């Protein structure tokens, strides 16, 4: 069959794989079949497991009341008969090259991005292969506590090699997106006329459509736009520039949507660059820049990977991108020993710049899994956003309260990952009490009892040795009845105060109270 000629297309990452954890959960569905020849039967087993784990949800689920109820519940599971029903009633009207029409092609759509990132390689009639980096990612998530630093390093290892014209894509645009971004950021930083803030968010559409790896030409284009219109222009203005870069025909103009080039693709581009840990947000997400604590990694990447070869075959590309660069994996960040002041300063800044009502609304959105439209907040993964927003809400609503979140931060003080195990998500204290705040998006009995209440009890016992007047608070979208009962049992058995709040009750409480002791009532 004659191969279709490559055309210039905007860079796009699948939005079905926004979260690294989601990529790993799909890889886990594939793991039992590693080294087995990919067949339709294996594809259906993988799809079966993905539906069972609620990773993939066909439309029929939400249209069928009993299935929709199971989907919303973290405790209830689909029966085998229900999964068979879902698959039977969900014919996939979809076709990918090299795969039969239907579920086989849907499988390829799901796993294509992890394959482009070098975590897995598959083709019909060939053995399924999971790379070293793929296994590192699986191991990092499947441990007792997710190893967020390791996950970040695996994605950095991938993104510093990822090519826009890799053999899995027919794209005439040819560059390594992360390298191109780092090179342009360096040129902007060396420019005395610039303020050092980095790349303006709307300028990222240029990166998505840029035809080659000529960073200086891209830098000069950015300078031209800034000198002409500054930072105030419409999406339509940038869209027309991008269509010109793509050499778009009238037909392509209809296919390359403004909402994609200036919206969805930009958001996903930022998310993917941020997974590396070396990119920071500035100005409430209006600019992206180097993470100053990662300069050693950035210098290493630019020195070693600025020159690269294009790969003709999928096999060569897989071997290249799936290989671990031991030097970058071992490289440490120059994070200050104490980031307390930076975290608190950032919290106070956001608490002042956002109204209480805006934070309440964003908390409801993240708990209800409703998309945020805020430039910066929508770029934070749900669990990270929940810790950040709750910390802001505590600063805004309580008098003379010291709020210390334990999430990891970048050089801007913005959260990059959730608090690690062994410590409370947020520690709040005033002259009278200390409160250990734990927040979670998990609503099921298993998750809340085993992953939250039991560790909370352990943290609380330890903290009360240092400060007797300490209590814990658990905030979740919904509190399971068993969670409430176990909290009551710990109060009866050990006189430990663990107070569970669903998000609605929590917000009502903090709106009318100004002392942290009120959370005990």
What pLDDT, in 10s, does the model give residues 217-242? 999 999 999 999 999 999 999 999 99
Res. 255 pLDDT band, cuts 50 70 90: confident
Q: How confident is the model at residue 18 (pLDDT cuts 50, 70, 90)?
A: low
For residue 17, what pLDDT is reported?
A: 67
Return the sign of the alpha-carbon dihedral for residues 142, 47, 161, 292: negative
Break the chain into its structural domains and give their ranges: 15-159, 177-308, 340-520
Quick check: 3 pLDDT over 80? no
- pLDDT of residue 65 exceeding 70, the answer is yes
pLDDT 10s digits, 284-334? 889 999 999 999 999 999 999 999 888 989 999 999 999 999 999 989 889
In percent, the amount of the chain with pLDDT more than 70 equals 98
Task: Provide, rounded to the nearest whole percent, the portion of the chain with pLDDT above 90.
Answer: 75
- The answer to whether 440 and 476 have CB atoms below 8 angstroms apart is yes
pLDDT at 46: 96
| pLDDT tens by residue, 160-187 | 999 999 999 888 899 999 999 999 999 9
Give 340-520's CATH code, choosing from 3.40.50.2300, 1.10.3470.10, 3.40.190.10, 3.40.91.50.
Answer: 3.40.91.50
pLDDT tens digits along 349-403:
999 999 999 999 999 999 999 999 998 999 899 999 999 999 999 999 998 899 9
What residues have CB less than 8 Å from 500, skipping those under 6 apart? 473, 474, 476, 479, 483, 484, 487
What is the predicted pLDDT for the residue at 1? Answer: 38
**Residue count (the chain):** 521
The two structure tokens encoding residue 272 = 């993917």
Q: Average pLDDT of the chain?
A: 91
The pLDDT tens digits of the residues spanning 70-100 come to 998 888 899 999 999 999 999 998 898 889 9
The residue that leads in pLDDT, 12 or 489, is 489
Contact 72, 81 (CB under 8 A): no
Q: What is the pLDDT of residue 477?
A: 94
Closest CA to 53 of 35, 78, 34: 78
Q: Which residues contact 48 (CB under 8 A, 6 or more apart)?
A: 83, 87
What per-residue confidence (pLDDT) applies to 278?
95
């Amino acid at each position: 069959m004659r191969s279709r000629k490559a055309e210039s297309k905007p860079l796009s990452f699948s939005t079905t794989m926004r979260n690294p954890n989601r990529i790993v959960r799909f890889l886990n569905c594939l793991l039992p079949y590693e080294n087995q020849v990919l067949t339709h039967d294996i594809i259906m087993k993988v799809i079966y497991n993905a539906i069972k784990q609620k990773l993939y949800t066909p439309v029929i689920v939400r249209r069928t009341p009993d299935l929709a109820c199971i989907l919303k519940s973290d405790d209830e599971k689909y029966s085998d008969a229900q999964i068979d029903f879902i698959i039977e009633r969900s014919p996939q009207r979809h076709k990918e090259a090299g795969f039969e029409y239907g579920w086989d092609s849907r499988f390829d759509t799901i796993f294509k991005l992890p394959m482009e990132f070098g975590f897995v390689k598959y083709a019909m009639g060939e053995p399924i292969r999971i790379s070293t980096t793929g296994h590192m990612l699986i191991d990092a998530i499947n441990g007792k506590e997710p190893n967020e630093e390791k996950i970040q390093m695996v994605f950095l290892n991938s993104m510093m090699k990822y090519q826009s014209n890799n053999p899995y894509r027919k794209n005439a645009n040819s560059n390594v997106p992360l390298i191109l971004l780092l090179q342009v950021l360096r040129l902007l930083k060396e420019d005395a006329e610039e303020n050092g803030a980095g790349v303006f968010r709307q300028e990222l559409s240029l990166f998505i459509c840029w035809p080659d790896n000529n960073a200086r030409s891209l830098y000069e284009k950015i300078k031209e736009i800034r000198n002409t219109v500054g930072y105030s222009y419409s999406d339509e203005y940038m869209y027309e520039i991008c269509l010109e870069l793509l050499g778009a025909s009238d037909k392509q103009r209809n296919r390359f949507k403004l909402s994609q080039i200036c919206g969805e693709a930009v958001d996903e581009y930022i998310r993917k660059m941020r997974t590396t840990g070396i990119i920071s947000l500035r100005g409430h997400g209006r600019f992206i820049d180097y993470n100053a604590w990662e300069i050693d990694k950035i210098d290493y990447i630019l020195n070693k990977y600025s020159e690269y070869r294009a790969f003709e075959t999928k096999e060569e590309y897989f071997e290249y991108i799936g290989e671990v660069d031991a030097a970058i994996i071992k490289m440490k960040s120059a994070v200050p020993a104490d980031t307390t002041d930076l975290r608190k300063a950032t919290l106070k800044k956001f608490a002042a710049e956002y109204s209480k009502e805006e934070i309440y609304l964003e908390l409801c959105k993240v708990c209800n899994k409703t998309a945020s439209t805020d430039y910066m907040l929508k770029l934070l993964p749900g669990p990270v956003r929940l810790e950040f927003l709750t910390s802001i809400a505590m600063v805004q609503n309580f008098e003379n309260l010291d709020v210390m979140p334990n999430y990891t931060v970048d050089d801007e003080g913005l959260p990059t990952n959730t608090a690690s195990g062994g410590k409370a998500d947020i520690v709040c204290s005033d002259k009278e009490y200390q409160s250990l705040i734990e927040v979670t998006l998990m609503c099921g009995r298993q998750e809340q009892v085993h992953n939250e209440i039991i560790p909370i009890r352990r943290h609380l016992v330890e903290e009360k040795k240092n400060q007797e007047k300490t209590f814990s608070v658990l905030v979740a979208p919904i509190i399971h009845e068993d969670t409430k009962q176990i909290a009551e049992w710990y109060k009866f058995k050990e006189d430990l105060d663990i107070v569970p709040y669903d998000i609605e009750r929590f917000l009502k409480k903090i709106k009318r109270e100004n002392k942290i002791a009120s959370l005990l009532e």
